[in-house]
């Protein structure tokens, strides 16, 4: 039996994690979880999951009501609450499925607490990759990726010597606007951007998929997860999202992981690694539904944020934190219909080019870089510096 602490229980990854746990209640038990502001969803979760003993919510104003309703549960709030969940002693694996930079500190706390990590919070590695890697090594714990692409790579590496890997091939759907030229992107709407052709995801990640920023984050993640240089990490456009990623070995053999567009598979694999459990309520992948699969070379001029991510990854330092924070703020401005879609790229690149570079940042300097990048984007917007 693995006891689990789950951050981001009300989000897409969180709810699917709960589904996996409920279908394998003989293997897993959730003892702690967090949600943001969605208190009705929390109550729904607690009606389904009767093993929860610790809960953190975003806003302290809900604590008195929740404590009265659930006297057997200990409640926390805010970012401090996430850290308190990470510091609990009576669990085995920490599922970090919150969105954004706020997932980094609890991730580090859980690692320093000697807990294995199932990671869906890509910002932890994009912004704090070296700190996370050092903490994993020092505390001798494992990190299992939940992103479908990195889970696919992990699966393709099983039984092989990593020294024989030639390159990793990360697949990308191309997002909502893969068939539009840059000229056609000038006037696209938020509603159009949120219509991903293959996946149902949250707002920010769907926009990041359309700009290819998300794939840039995944390249940086792959670098830290699998200890390979950026020259050995390729991205290829694959419209169907059937092949989740591939590994090419030095003899030119390529091993690919295929499957349905269902995030429960990588979630379940991360929780059960190295074992494979039965997948419940899932329609198995069928080749006859996909008589043809398509692949295209990545166009870095069409997707400049992917090129920027490679550059940021190679330089390292605090640039990942700057790029991520600028993206969070710029995407928020776009989702609130305050800037255009293409302006997202400009805000992010301006932040990366103009804010101070720190080669070997401390955690405090990464946190400060995150704050400065957010303020930079807001100030640029208020000044009307980007059209």
Bridge partners of 76? Answer: 56
Is 2 one of the annotated binding-site residues?
no
Is 316 one of the annotated binding-site residues?
no
Is 311 one of the annotated binding-site residues?
no
Is 251 one of the annotated binding-site residues?
no
Is 123 one of the annotated binding-site residues?
yes
Is 116 one of the annotated binding-site residues?
no
User: In 3D, which of 344, 348, 347, 352 has the Cα closest to residue 318?
Assistant: 352
3-state DSSP assignment of residue 192: helix
Is 176 one of the annotated binding-site residues?
no
Tell me if 261 sits within 8 A of 199, measured CB to CB: yes
Is 339 one of the annotated binding-site residues?
no
Is 87 one of the annotated binding-site residues?
no
Query: How many Å is the Cα radius of gyration of the chain?
Result: 20
Distance (Å, whole) CA 365 – CA 328: 18
Is 349 one of the annotated binding-site residues?
no
- Exposed (0-12), middle (13-18) or buried (19+): which is 255, by Cβ within 10 Å? middle
Is 218 one of the annotated binding-site residues?
yes
Instruction: Give 153-183 as a DSSP string.
Output: HHHHHTTS-GGGEEEEEEEE---TTTTS-TT
Is 112 one of the annotated binding-site residues?
no
Is 8 one of the annotated binding-site residues?
no
Is 47 one of the annotated binding-site residues?
no
Distance (Å, whole) CA 41 – CA 76: 17
* Residues making up the binding site for NADPH: 11-13, 36, 38, 121, 123, 202
- Binding-site residue ranges: 11-13, 36, 38, 121-123, 147-149, 173, 196, 202, 209, 214-215, 218
Q: Which residues are annotated as a binding site for Mn(2+)?
A: 147, 149, 218
Binding-site residue set for 1-deoxy-D-xylulose 5-phosphate: 122, 148-149, 173, 196, 209, 214-215, 218
């Amino acid at each position: 039996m693995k006891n689990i602490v789950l951050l981001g229980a009300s989000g897409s990854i969180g709810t699917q994690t709960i589904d996996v746990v409920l279908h394998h209640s003989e293997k897993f038990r959730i003892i702690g979880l967090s949600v943001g502001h969605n208190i009705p969803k929390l109550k729904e979760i607690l009606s389904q999951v009767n093993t929860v003993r610790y809960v953190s919510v975003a806003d302290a104003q809900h604590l008195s009501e929740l404590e009265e309703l659930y006297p057997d549960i200990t409640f926390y709030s805010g970012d401090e609450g996430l850290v308190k969940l990470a510091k609990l002693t009576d669990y085995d694996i920490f599922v970090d499925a919150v969105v954004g930079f706020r997932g980094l500190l609890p991730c580090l706390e859980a690692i320093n607490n000697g807990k294995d990590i199932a990671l869906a919070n890509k910002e932890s590695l994009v912004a704090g990759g070296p700190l996370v890697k050092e903490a994993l090594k020092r505390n001798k714990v494992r990190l299992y990726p939940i992103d479908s692409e990195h889970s696919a790579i992990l699966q393709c590496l099983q039984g092989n010597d990593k020294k024989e890997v030639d390159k990793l091939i990360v697949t990308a759907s191309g997002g909502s606007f893969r068939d539009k030229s840059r000229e056609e992107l000038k006037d696209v709407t938020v509603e159009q951007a949120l219509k991903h052709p293959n996946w149902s995801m949250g707002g920010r990640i769907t926009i990041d998929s359309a700009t290819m920023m998300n794939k840039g984050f995944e390249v940086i993640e792959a670098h830290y997860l699998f200890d390979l240089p950026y020259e050995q990490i390729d991205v290829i456009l694959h419209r169907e999202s059937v092949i989740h990623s591939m590994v090419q070995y030095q003899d030119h053999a390529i091993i690919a992981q295929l499957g349905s567009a269902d995030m429960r598979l990588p979630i379940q694999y991360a929780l059960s690694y190295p074992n494979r459990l039965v997948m419940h309520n899932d329609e198995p992948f069928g080749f006859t539904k996909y008589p043809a699969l398509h692949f295209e070379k990545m166009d870095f001029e069409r997707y400049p944020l992917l090129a920027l991510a490679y550059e940021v990854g190679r330089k390292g330092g605090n640039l990942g934190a700057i790029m991520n924070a600028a993206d969070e703020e710029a995407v928020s401005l776009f989702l609130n219909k305050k800037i255009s879609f293409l302006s997202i790229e400009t805000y992010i690149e301006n932040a990366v080019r103009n804010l101070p570079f720190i080669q070997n940042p401390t955690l405090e300097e990464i946190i400060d870089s995150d704050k400065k990048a957010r303020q930079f984007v807001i100030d640029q917007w208020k000044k009307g510096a980007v059209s």
